[in-house]
Amino acid sequence: MEEALAVAEQEKPIEEGDGPEEGYAPVPWTRKKIVLAVVIGVVVAALSLGCAAALYLHTIDLALTGGMDAAQQDDLAEALQPPKPKNAAPSEHAVEAEAPVSSAYYVAILGCDARPNETIARSDVTMLARIDTDTGTVHLVSVPRDMMVEIEGHGTQKINAALAFGGPAGAVRALSAFAGVPITHYVELRFEQLVELVDRLGGVTVDVPEGFTSDTSGITLAAGTQTLNGEEALAFARERHAVSSGDFSRAAAQRAIISAIADEVLASPPTKLPSLVGSLASCVTTDYTVAELADTALALKDTGITVYSAACPSYSFGEGGISYVGTMYDEWRAMMQRVDAGLDPADESAEIPEPQASDEDLGAATNARSPRDYSGRIDQAGFKDN
């Protein structure tokens, strides 16, 4: 089975006429842009402190959105939604103005696999994060990149094609429909450029589930808890060929790296924050502003942070010569109920609060197109982890 799945790993081609003439490809972050940001920071430092700080923050804000053009930013702004009212399932009779807004909100985290000179890029990483600054709880949930879904106007596709067809906004809409939650923020990661950030942090500590030697970088990692430098962290986050569960293992590694980076950033002294912000701006594209990121970091620093990690319950299968991942609908719905309630997503014995139990949108996967009857495919299920 493992060998068959490896052979069937090819992507469904994005055919001519199937999408826009030029699909989404992130605007490349060049060394020239980084140098320009540094120069601007030096210049404004000569001005009054207040003016310099304002200009510096504005420069970083521009850097954070620098991977999108103006039209993509506008489209993304329309796709993003405010958090749901606190402790309330959606209701057509609800008066939103009177309902308290929850401190918890959802973030789409995408990793783009665009190569130089490519005009169409699928998302190499699709992840949903739930952040609750009141409780200090963060949920990271991976959705397999080969998940079979329908993308409006393009028929049955893998969910990672949503970014290619519709840019950041298209990816947000696809993930929102699949998870059944409003998505408030968008983060696009460039894992290759996380190397500098990890090294500035002095490395990140993760638990490597199984040892491997990367067939691309040649880096060897032993199993067990250890501190990885930037290049080692990248190898861990990228490896799928030399590990037992392929893309499922890689998704777990990516969640581990993101969680470890968050831990290190929150533990860093204030004197290191300026350089960390600069490094962060070079490896992400997001609608977040520096002020919003700072507010979130400070809130989580005050409460302490608990991170839950999980993957959408799923299985691999082939159709029409294409490899897909299918949704385990009942398990996914139950997991999203636990996530939305702030519970451990792996605790199947947890009692689901009434607001989540009665919310029919949670985990509805309305855009999923894999078989609804998957009882005979459980032996192909991707591993669960927490």
What is the helix (H) or strand (E) element at residue 104, kind and residue range? strand 104-112
Q: In degrees rounded to 5, what are phi and psi of residue 9?
A: -80, 0
Burial label, 176 (beta-carbon count in 10 A; 0-12, 13-18, 19+): buried
Asked if 203 and 181 sit in the same domain, the reply is: no
Same domain, 163 and 307: yes
Question: 172 is in which domain, residue-wise?
Answer: 1-11+24-29+66-90+100-190+286-370
Task: Give the pLDDT confidence of 315-341 residue by residue, as tens digits.
Answer: 999 999 999 999 999 999 999 999 999
Residues 179, 225: one domain?
no
Q: Give the chain's domain count.
A: 2
In a domain, 16, yes or no: no
Q: 3-state DSSP call for residue 12? A: coil
Let me know if residue 384 belongs to a domain. Answer: no
Residue 49 one-letter amino acid: L
Asked if residue 19 belongs to a domain, the reply is: no
Domain at 204, CATH number: 3.40.630.190
d(CA 245, CA 325): 13
The SS3 of residue 289 is coil
Contact in structure between 142 and 257 (CB atoms under 8 Å): no
34 part of a folded domain: no
Whether residue 278 sits in one domain with residue 302: no
Give the largest CA-CA distance in the chain.
Answer: 68
- Kindly list the averaged pLDDT for each block of 10 residues, start to end, along the chain of length 386: 39 48 58 41 38 62 82 96 75 48 90 57 88 95 96 96 94 98 94 86 95 91 97 93 89 93 85 72 87 85 91 94 96 98 96 96 98 82 48
Query: Would the pTM count as exceeding 0.75?
Result: yes
Residues 201 and 314 both lie in one domain: no
- Note whether residue 364 is domain-resident: yes
pLDDT at position 32 is 43
Provide the CATH number for the domain around residue 114. 3.30.420.590
Among 282, 297, 329, identify where a domain stops. Answer: 282
Question: What DSSP character marks residue 65?
Answer: T
Whether residue 81 is found in the same domain as residue 204: no
Nearest to 159 by CA among 181, 179, 188: 179
Say whether both 124 and 173 belong to one domain.
Answer: yes
Predicted local confidence at residue 62, as pLDDT: 78
Is the C-alpha dihedral spanning 300, 253, 312, 143 positive or negative?
positive
